[in-house]
Chain A
Amino acid sequence: MIDGLARVEHAAVSLLVSLGMALIGVPLMLTLYLSVFDEKLILFPPHAYTLNWYKQIPAIFGAPIWTSLQLGVTAVILSLLFGVPAGIGLSRHRFRGKTLISTMLLAPITVPGIALGLAVYIVLVSIDEQTGSAFTGSLTGLVLAHVMITTPWVVRLCLASLATHDRTAEEAAASLGAHPLRVIWRVTLPAMRPGIIAGALFAFVISFENLELALFLTSPGITTLPVAVLQYLEYHIDPMVAAVAVAQSVGIAILLLLLDRFVRLGRVVA
């Protein structure tokens, strides 16, 4: 009886797991399948298979990929510079306006991307009008906008990694003669390492995949990968886009696997 119940339970769990896997896996597998169709239009069944689409990626999307990489890396570095000290400050000190600052820092996560993009666009255009600068459509403008949406992730993960960290270790370091800055360098930052790495990773993925902000802020010379894909889709419906999507997914998956060797991501994100 109990045995039967356990078996039913086991079956139910297996079923749910397979459903979940299917939900995630089927679209990915379909994309992978589509990306090797040797067709100008997406026709089923294809008359042949080819890896040609992948070969064309550098020619068509090389420049946007390069832009997205530069943008992502710069945004990550800047958001680490702002986010890590902000995380330490917010978790370790009490000061006036702390709630306000923490809300402001985390808010961009909750605002719809398209609204954020429009807002940034309007601000940049007005700055350009007033000062004669050219932020709109420049890489600088894009970087600033991306830092806004990547910093919250860095702050959040830093806060999470400090929440479980025993504060008395910092007091112990101080009592042993460590100046406050050395306490941060020798004790706090090492304790935050998994959070910082995970935060940087999230920030990069968020920046690399962002479409909404970039829609408003790219210009003919400077186009990010998601915008380039969208523009391509306006004129072509061929398996090219699937190939780009697969390439991007594989790239990010490799990044995750590499990082998992350094920090147990499951432990940081959970």
Chain B
Amino acid sequence: MTAAPHASSLSLQHLVRRFGVDTAVDDISLEVNPSELVVLLGPSGCGKTTTLRLIAGFLAPDAGDIRVDGSSILAQPPHRRDMGIVFQSYALFPHLSVARNIAFGLEMRRTDSAATKARVQEMLRLIRLEDFAARLPRQLSGGQQQRVALARALAIHPRVLLLDEPLSNLDAALRQDMAREIRLLQQSRGITTIMVTHDQTEAMALADRLVLMHDGKVQQIGSPEALHLRPKNPFVARFIGGSNVVRGRIDASARMVLRNGLAITLAAVYQGVGAASLAVRPDSIGLGVPGQGGARVEGLVELCSWLGATVEHVVRLSPDVVMLVRGPGLGPDAAPRQPAGTRVTLHWSQADEFLFDASDRPVPASACHFQLNAGVQ
């Protein structure tokens, strides 16, 4: 990713937005570099859409500042902010043709008609809908409408492109094509972009950096890889990679004891930790047979589903605790399928184990403890 010569930077500084007693956006700060694509990711109600609407100017923040290229845009109404927005519902103008939709922003800027025409042609070529210029939006498929919405937003040379769940109205096959298309367009034009989504896969596929949000707060900012490999708290671990998370206490022999008495042997020693949460991703857990060494915990297979590329086992550790285990479904490394009712042991290595203290901060391992493990067995 190289910054285009005119690409803008965007800076959110301690943004706060309340709705009555709810704080939808709670002190959010973010620096977006020129030509970067940043994805705001999180479950519904986490404040990501509100943040986008604050940037677009449809909402005013209660506190904080929004800067483009260093100067505040808070005083500017939406129509002066030069933001290109693509909405989840496409939001095309139903009474205008595809060409007129794309030309709309240029007409508002009183661009002369020859230049407008040329720009519309360029955009139509870009989205490969040259033959559809005269059609009305309702005569297009969902994917085509979304491309028109994208072209309409890009036609005005926006300083920042805002994408609000741009793929969630499309069916699965189309979604991947469209995601690639958005990424290629964004990269080739070097346009600074903020995208909002609740879909983790979509976010990972598109983002230079991810901003994971929950309850109006930023949970973690970083590359998709960083969030995957170094989650900052149990929420991040659970949301990215779908980690199994259990809460309990670390006892004297470095085991994690859950409230129901279930004990899990940890891969590492953690000193000075009492109450803690343990997170392990489904794909870093291996299954074994009881009696084998190195087991972390034992359980009963409840469900085995083969999904082609992967095979998933739901393993019940105790009446109220289950863990999801995922292994490769095909090829030489394919995980053996264990039928429901089989007793199995769960294994994982130290690198795949994430421990968080009572205030949900990550706890580094103090030492590896193979000896202790052996003792517990």
Which A residues contact B (CB, under 8 angstroms)?
166, 168-169, 171-180, 182, 186-187, 190-191, 193
**Interface presence of B114 (CB below 8 A):** no
Q: 11 extra interchain contacts, Cβ-Cβ under 8 A, other than A178-B104, A178-B108?
A: A169-B93, A174-B79, A175-B81, A176-B104, A176-B156, A177-B108, A177-B109, A178-B79, A180-B79, A190-B95, A191-B95
Taking CB atoms and an 8 Å cut-off, the chain B residues in 149-202 that contact chain A are: 149, 152-153, 156, 162
Closest residue to A168 on the B side, CB-wise? B91
B-side contacts of A191, CB under 8 Å: 94-95
Task: Tell me which of A168, A175, A179, A187 contacts B83 (CB under 8 A).
Answer: A175
Q: A177-B79, A177-B105, A178-B79 are in contact. Are A172 and B87 (CB under 8 A)?
A: yes
List B contacts of A166 (CB < 8 A): 89, 91
Contacts A168-B87, A179-B79; is A173 near B56 (CB within 8 Å)? no
Of chain B, the residue at the smallest CB distance from A176 is: B105
Determine whether B84 belongs to the interface, using a CB cutoff of 8 Å to chain A.
Answer: yes
Q: Are B94 and A169 in contact, CB atoms less than 8 angstroms apart?
A: yes
- Given the contacts A168-B87, A182-B108, A175 and B78 also touching, CB distance less than 8 Å: yes
In the bound complex, CA of A166 to CA of B93 (Å):
10
Q: What residues of A have a CB within 8 angstroms of the CB of B93 in the complex?
A: 169, 172-173, 186-187, 190
A69 to chain B, nearest CB (A): 32
Closest B residue by C-beta to A172: B91
Size of chain B's interface in residues, with CB distance under 8 A? Answer: 28
> How close is A164's CB to chain B, nearest CB, in angstroms?
11
- Check if B85 is an interface residue, CB within 8 A of chain A: yes
B109 touches A171 (CB 8 A): no
Interface residue ranges of B113-156 to A (CB < 8 Å): 149, 152-153, 156
**Shortest distance from the beta carbon of B353 to any chain A beta carbon, whole Å:** 45
Partner of B85, one of A172, A178, A193: A172
Are B56 and A175 touching (Cβ within 8 A)? yes
Chain A residues closer than 8 Å to B279, beta-carbon distance: none
The distance from the CB of B151 to the nearest CB of chain A, in whole angstroms, is: 12
26 contacting pairs across A/B (C-beta < 8 A): A166-B89, A166-B91, A168-B91, A171-B56, A171-B58, A172-B87, A172-B91, A172-B92, A172-B149, A172-B152, A174-B58, A174-B79, A175-B84, A175-B153, A175-B162, A176-B79, A176-B156, A177-B105, A177-B156, A178-B108, A182-B108, A186-B93, A187-B93, A190-B95, A191-B94, A193-B95
Measured in the bound complex, the distance between the Cα atoms of B79 and A182 in whole Å is 11
The 10 closest A-B pairs by CB, nearest first: A176-B105, A177-B108, A168-B91, A172-B91, A174-B78, A175-B85, A190-B95, A168-B87, A169-B91, A174-B79
Complex contacts, B57 vs chain A, CB 8 Å: 174
